[in-house]
Amino acid sequence: MVQQYCSHAKALAALGRGAFDAAYRETASISPAGVLPPLQAPALWVVLDLVEAAAKTGHTAEAAAHAAAVSGSRVQDISGRLALLAGAAEGLAADRDMAAACFERALQAPGANRWPFDLARVRLLYGEHLRRMRAYAQARTHLEAALDAFQRLGAVPWIRRAAGELRVTGVQPGRRGRLTGVLTSQEHEIARLAATGMTNKQIAERFVTIEQRLNNAVGKLCVRQIDVEVVHI
């Protein structure tokens, strides 16, 4: 049992840094895919870890088999935490059209807020799924919540992973995981021009002209600097 708990810790660390092959090896050593060994409590706590590692290393059949074994054993009836983990595992193994419903059911598990790390993981996985489905607004909601929870817990590898997912959706996470809402000077100028009614093409042409003028100015400054250095010598 001590070895299994150590393997679970290693698997969580591997999942946090995206080393899914290592996570699959560690979790499979606790519970073979598609099997829930009797009288082995650690096998219950890695149901989500094993399915995620399997799904993200191309072992889709193993992921589906384990999710089915978990669902068939009714472990979700034991506690709210297991309902949260088992529901998310089912979502990872489900078809694209069915996954969202599985994740939503998982998030409704009774007492899910009592397990902030597990809840944040499920929100992260759900956000990743929504991002792949190009439901970016919904994805950001769950990814922000996950990032905020990981930051409060000090789960550094998971902070990086959630922040990376948020960036993929096209936003820059703030210090607490919220959207910064701050525009760069160029973005502000683009927004101002768009508000005047200019088309995308006109705005693009405008910025090409600005860039050309800037390059000319830089070139002249460089030449002037060279002249000054020559005179100084």
- With a cut of 80, say whether residue 161 has pLDDT above it: yes
* Beta strand ranges found along the chain (DSSP E): none
**pLDDT band, residue 209 (cuts 50/70/90):** low
CA distance 54 to 181: 37
Domain boundaries, the chain: 2-168, 185-232
Q: How many CB atoms lie within 10 A of CB 87?
A: 25
What pLDDT digit, counting tens, does each position of 94-146 carry? Answer: 998 899 999 999 999 999 999 999 999 999 999 999 999 999 999 999 999 99
Cα distances (angstroms) measured from residue 72 to each of 55, 68, 90, 110, 118: 19, 6, 11, 20, 22
Strand partners, 179: 173
Q: Does domain 2-168 have CATH number 1.25.40?
A: yes
Q: Which of 56, 139, 43 is nearest to 93 (CA)?
A: 56
Percent of the chain clearing pLDDT 70 (strictly above): 77
Structure tokens at 4: 């299994």
* Average per-residue pLDDT for the chain: 82
What pLDDT digit, counting tens, does each position of 194-207 carry? Answer: 667 677 667 666 76
Tell me what pLDDT residue 144 has: 95
Looking at per-residue confidence, does 28 or 233 come out higher?
Answer: 28
Looking at per-residue confidence, does 64 or 221 come out higher?
Answer: 64
